[in-house]
Amino acid sequence: MSDEEDDLILDELSDEELVLQMHDDLYDGMADEIYEAVNILLKRDWVPYDVLTKALVEGMRIVGIDFRDGILFVPEVLLAAGAMKRGMKILKPLLIESGAPQLGKMVIGTVKGDIHDIGKNLVAMMMEGAGFEVIDLGINNPVEDYIDALKRENADILGMSALLTTTMPYMKIVIDTMIEQGIRDDYIVLVGGAPLNEEFGKAIGSDAYCRDAAVAVETAKEFMARKHNQL
Amino acid sequence: MDLLSKLLAEKDWLMADGATGTNLFNRGLEAGEAPELWNVDQPAKIKALYQDAVDSGSDIFLTNSFGGTAARLKLHNAQDRVRELNKVAAALGREVADKAGRPVVVAGSVGPTGEIFEPLGPLSHAEAVEMFEEQGAALMEGGADVLWLETISAPEEYKAAAEAFANINAPWVGTMSFDTAGRTMMGMTSTSMVEMAQGLDNRPLGFGANCGVGASDLLRTIRGFKAANPEIPIVAKGNAGIPKFVHGHIHYDGTPELMGKYAVMVRNSGAKIIGGCCGTMPEHLVAMRKALEETPMGAAPTDEEITSVLGGFSSKSDGTGDEPAPVRIRRRRK
């Protein structure tokens, strides 16, 4: 009840309890509480990278699972991502300063001919919420725009989205151009959108088809981990 | 009395139209082009689209104005042409309907703004009402009989449109897209939609579901509506199956025969206005009309009947809470 809520003093929790509380507060989209808890952990000499991964990213992972399973819907996920972003505001400069490993950088946009951006926006928000850096190219992107941005931003991941059955084949053009330029294997290529499926993702030469925003985040993490292991 | 109300009072069921986008692409619309620009640039093709629906037996067809709000037209730098493009969309429809030789309803299509409402996103209620009002007024001015809101996910957006249409005294119909685990993307269930639609000051003439996943899911949604005993007629506009990528081109797996079965099943489940959405071509509509006319009203199909004829559901439950969703226990509950 509300009394209990008022009584909960974050700073009195042990580290372990506080992290669990943060997972819950992310789940409930409580941005002020996340902001406060991030500061408390930092004051307790946690390194920024641990705050990011153990508290925030782990909390968003749980949100992602329940979104995937149809327990949470877009409004709740947006609230959670908003709370995560509040925490990231504190952490981002510290992470850069400390030279902590970056989760990864993604260039994302809907393909040429496609103006439907709700799904893409959702993936961008969830990826940011999970701690990735996202360069959003918006809608209707020709192959040059994708490739320029990948190079300019020194990105790790390319995300392409299409809602229309008429525009999804353009993804293959982008990937084929990357192959021609000899840069295909420098990037993780993820594709998504309502009419796509796994078979299509394979057929055009992407690394993976992602069914929804939560799957996109999990897949990106998995591929980034593999990439780090190769280095 | 508006034409749709009149037809609803006279008939047991009405047939709406099929796909707009799929049909326009087949007529040469380039991907990325705003279909609404064709109202002015290619009026003959738009009239042919409408004519196809009339010739296939539709009692209602939707105008080519789905992306006609300022928010969507802005993506094509055409946000200043809302009135022009919507007015023409409806006027072309009026021309076709008046020559049909039978009453055909011109329904002014209004799609989502594509923006997320405050506080989660940037769109305010007042801005949304203003945009819907601008588009709705232009469609009515062009000669639409009713306005037809479709593919909505957020209850806030549905309510904003209702308010806008009240401001211009336009009769309207409004459907949502149930595509996420039986609910809309924003989490609305079929039952809660009934409550929302009937609770509005400006009640729609009909409410229901369009687009979404496949015909099976849509049928389950219609059954959810019916279970809530709505006082207003139910609309069902399902996709012609599920798009498949076959040898480099896209193909919807719903055959005309299958869409005919869908039409009868959805009518038996309680829908009064029946049409198709993405992938639904004239040949599908012809098959649907024939099946609806030749098949007597029957019992609502069971889950097994639905899945054996139309294919499996995309999620286990329809999210209406017959079986409560698992709740994650939190240390501090909101």
Q: Does A75 touch chain B (CB under 8 A)?
A: yes
- Identify the band that residue B120 occupies on the pLDDT scale cut at 50, 70 and 90: confident
Question: Which of A75, A82, A112 comes nearest B186 by C-beta?
Answer: A75
The whole-angstrom separation of Cα A67 and Cα A73 is 6
pLDDT tens per residue across span A108-125? 999 988 777 778 988 998
Question: For residue B98, what are its two tokens?
Answer: 């008046």
The whole-angstrom separation of Cα B324 and Cα B299 is 27
- The answer to whether B78 and B70 are in contact (CB under 8 A) is no
Cβ neighbours, 10 Å, residue A8: 14
| pLDDT value of residue B110 | 98
pLDDT tens per residue across span A123-154? 998 888 788 999 999 888 999 999 999 999 99
Average pLDDT over residues B248-258: 77
Nearest residue to B255 (alpha-carbon basis) of B237, B281, B274: B281
Q: Does A165 touch chain B (CB under 8 A)?
A: yes
Q: Does B319 touch chain A (CB under 8 A)?
A: yes
**Percent of chain B topping pLDDT 90:** 73
For residue B212, give the DSSP letter: S
Cβ-Cβ contacts under 8 Å between A and B: the total is 97
Query: Please, which contacts does A144-152 make with residues 24 or more away whose CB atoms are closer than 8 Å?
Result: A145/A109, A146/A107, A146/A109, A146/A174, A147/A174, A147/A177, A147/A178, A147/A181, A147/A183, A149/A107, A150/A107, A150/A183, A150/A186, A150/A187, A151/A183
Which range, of A64-78, B10-24, B32-46, B49-63, averages the lowest pLDDT?
A64-78
| Region of residue A54 (left: phi > 0; alpha: psi -120 to 50; beta: else) | alpha
Cβ neighbours, 10 Å, residue A61: 16
Shortest Cα distance, chain A CAs vs residue B117, angstroms: 10
Question: For residue A48, what are its two tokens?
Answer: 């920024």
Question: For residue A105, what are its two tokens?
Answer: 């950088």
A63: amino acid identity, one letter: V
Contact A114 B121 (CB under 8 A): no
B23, B328, B329: which to substitute to probe chain A, counting the most A Cβ within 10 Å? B328
A115, A121, A122, A176: which to substitute to probe chain B, counting the most B Cβ within 10 Å? A115
Q: Does B185 touch chain A (CB under 8 A)?
A: yes
Q: Which residues of A touch B327 (CB under 8 A)?
A: 71
Question: Which of B34, B114, B180 comes nearest A117 by C-beta?
Answer: B114
Q: Does A173 touch chain B (CB under 8 A)?
A: no
Measure Cα distances from B253 to B257, B278, B292, B328 in Å.
Answer: 11, 11, 21, 38
Rg (CA), chain A: 19
Contact B328 A140 (CB under 8 A): no
Which range, of B38-52, B110-124, B147-161, averages the lowest pLDDT?
B110-124
Q: Which H/E stretch holds residue B124?
A: none
B139: amino acid identity, one letter: L
Q: Does B120 touch chain A (CB under 8 A)?
A: yes
Q: Taking CA atoms, what residue in A is nearest to B115?
A: A118
Beta bridge partners of A105: A133
pLDDT tens per residue across span B90-116? 999 999 999 999 999 999 999 999 888
Question: Which strands sit side by side in the sheet containing A188-192, from one edge to the other?
Answer: A133-136, A105-110, A157-161, A188-192, A208-209
**Percent of chain A topping pLDDT 70:** 97
Cβ neighbours, 10 Å, residue B332: 15
Beta bridge partners of A108: A136, A159
B157, B314, B334: which to substitute to probe chain A, counting the most A Cβ within 10 Å? B334
Nearest residue to A189 (alpha-carbon basis) of A110, A104, A107: A107
Question: Which of A20, A66, A113 comes nearest B331 by C-beta?
Answer: A20
Question: How far is residue B227 CA from its own chain's centroid?
Answer: 21
For residue B35, give the DSSP letter: G
Q: Does A70 touch chain B (CB under 8 A)?
A: yes
Average pLDDT over residues B186-191: 94
Q: Taking CA atoms, what residue in B is nearest to A120?
A: B114
Contact A118 B185 (CB under 8 A): yes
- Residues shown for chain B: 334
The DSSP annotation for chain A comes to: -HHHHHH--GGGS-HHHHHHHHHHHHHTT-HHHHHHHHHHHHHTT--HHHIIIIIIIHHHHHHHHHHHTTSS-HHHHHHHHHHHHHHHHHHHHHHHHHTPPP--EEEEEEBTT----HHHHHHHHHHHHTT-EEEE--SSB-HHHHHHHHHHTT-SEEEEE--STTTTTHHHHHHHHHHHTT-GGGSEEEEE-TT--HHHHHHTT-SEE-SSHHHHHHHHHHHHHHHHHH-
Quote ipTM for the complex: 0.79
Measure Cα distances from B45 to B25, B41, B56, B205 in Å.
Answer: 11, 9, 16, 30
Shortest Cα distance, chain A CAs vs residue B227, angstroms: 22
The whole-angstrom separation of Cα B254 and Cα B144 is 30
Q: Which residues of A touch B185 (CB under 8 A)?
A: 73-74, 118
* H helices present in chain B, as ranges: 3-10, 21-26, 38-41, 43-55, 70-73, 82-98, 125-141, 155-167, 190-199, 215-227, 256-268, 282-294, 303-310
pLDDT by residue for chain A (231 residues), tens digit each?
444 455 689 999 999 999 999 999 999 999 999 999 999 999 999 999 899 889 998 998 899 889 888 889 889 988 998 899 899 899 988 988 887 777 899 999 999 887 777 789 889 988 887 889 999 998 889 999 999 999 999 999 999 998 877 788 899 999 999 999 999 999 999 999 877 888 889 999 999 999 888 889 999 999 998 887 776
Q: Does B315 touch chain A (CB under 8 A)?
A: yes
Question: For residue A127, what are its two tokens?
Answer: 């990826």
Question: Which of A27, A73, A195 comes nearest B185 by C-beta?
Answer: A73
| pLDDT value of residue B334 | 46
Residue B312 scores a pLDDT above 90: no
| pLDDT value of residue A3 | 47
- Identify the band that residue B322 occupies on the pLDDT scale cut at 50, 70 and 90: low
Please state whether beta strands B249-252 and B243-246 pair in parallel, antiparallel, or not at all (unpaired). antiparallel
Q: Does B102 touch chain A (CB under 8 A)?
A: no
**Could you give the angle at which helices B303-310 and B256-268 cross, rounded to 10 degrees?**
170
Query: Please, which contacts does B45-49 make with residues 24 or more away whose CB atoms are closer than 8 Å?
Result: B46/B89, B46/B92, B47/B92, B47/B95, B47/B96, B49/B20, B49/B23, B49/B24
- Residue B326, SS3 per DSSP: coil
- The answer to whether B273 and B13 are in contact (CB under 8 A) is yes
Residue B200 scores a pLDDT above 80: yes
Q: Does B75 touch chain A (CB under 8 A)?
A: yes
The whole-angstrom separation of Cα B116 and Cα A198 is 29
What domains lie within chain B, and their CATH numbers?
Answer: 3-310 (3.20.20.330)
Average pLDDT over residues B181-208: 95
